[in-house]
Amino acid sequence: DIVMTQSPDSLAVSLGERATINCKSSQSVLYSSNNENYLAWYQQKPGQPPKLLIYWASSRESGVPDRFSGSGSATDFTLTISSLQAEDVAVYYCQQYYSTPYTFGQGTKLEIK
Amino acid sequence: EVQLVESGGGLVQPGGSLRLSCAASGFTFSSYWMHWVRQAPGKGLVWVSRIKSDGSNTNYADSVKGRFTISRDNAKNTLYLQMNSLRAEDTAVYYCTRDQGATFGYWGQGTLVTVSS
């Protein structure tokens, strides 16, 4: 199984500042035939189901604000929120869909400083 | 509008069984792979199972293989998860999700399964 490890486990950032969450996979999730990284990011607010933010490591889902961006390749990935808003308080998860069992990172809790 | 509505959760004793349902609407159900993802209280997300659009292919997490069975009825636009030999560690909110290139583009609100004596 591919193990996904996020860092940090929790993060406190001031409003308007940049937030960065990292995700590392135990093996590459870059599929050579199409040069795509099979990596997604989700946001989960309390009492709600997760919401897809980013897929193919850097493609923003429709309706997701452009302050959210994803980057990285192969085994190392980053989710960046360029200017933190109050509504961004949530837990963020990375997920690989390169192979089953699909696996998630343990989550990063983002709070306001 | 895509809607996924889970039902069937509840309290069950260890060793017992439960069948979850997920009613889908707002899209052509028979065209999509579907998944179950679970989340234990206060914990992270765990993929449980998936089923191909026509029901011909299924996959499971090792932790549920041999105990859980995913199925679907495309005529009724409904996804199922039959859960047998339930254990305390199966306690979780179970989400029905629609495949989006193997990501999870749409989620239901979830149904809580509690395994306890």
Query: Across the interface, do A97 and B100 touch by the CB < 8 Å criterion?
Result: no
Q: Is the four-CA dihedral B9, A49, B37, B105 of positive or negative sign? A: positive
Arithmetic mean of pLDDT over chain A = 97
Partner B contacted by A49 (CB < 8 A): yes
Looking at beta carbons, which residues of chain A come within 8 Å of B104? 40, 42, 50, 52, 95
CA distance A37 to A39: 6
- CB B3, CB B107: distance < 8 Å: no
**Model pLDDT for residues B16-66, shown as the tens digit of each residue:** 999 999 999 999 999 999 999 999 999 999 999 999 999 999 999 999 999
Cβ of A100 and B45 within 8 Å?
Answer: no
Q: Establish, for the pair of chains A and B, how many residue pairs have beta carbons separated by less than 8 Å.
A: 52
Determine the Cα–Cα distance for residues B80 and B18; give it in Å rounded to an integer: 10
Residue-wise DSSP of A36-58: EE-EEEEEE-TTS--EEEEETTT
Tens of pLDDT, residue by residue over A49-86, are 999 999 999 999 999 999 999 999 999 999 999 999 99
Q: Minimal Cα–Cα distance from A74 to chain B, Å?
A: 17
Contact B62 A101 (CB under 8 A): yes
Cα first-last separation, chain B:
40
Calpha distance B50→B57 (Å, rounded): 8
Min distance A113 CA to chain B CA atoms (Å) = 22
pLDDT digits (tens, 9 = 90+) for B69-84: 999 999 999 999 999 9
Q: Calculate Rg over the CA atoms of chain A.
A: 13
Each residue's pLDDT tens digit, A88-101 = 999 999 999 999 99
pLDDT tens-place string over residues B87-108 = 999 999 999 999 988 799 999 9
CA distance to partner chain B, nearest, from residue A100 (Å)? 8
Average pLDDT, chain B: 97
Integer Cα distance of B96 and B21 in angstroms: 9
pLDDT of B102: 77
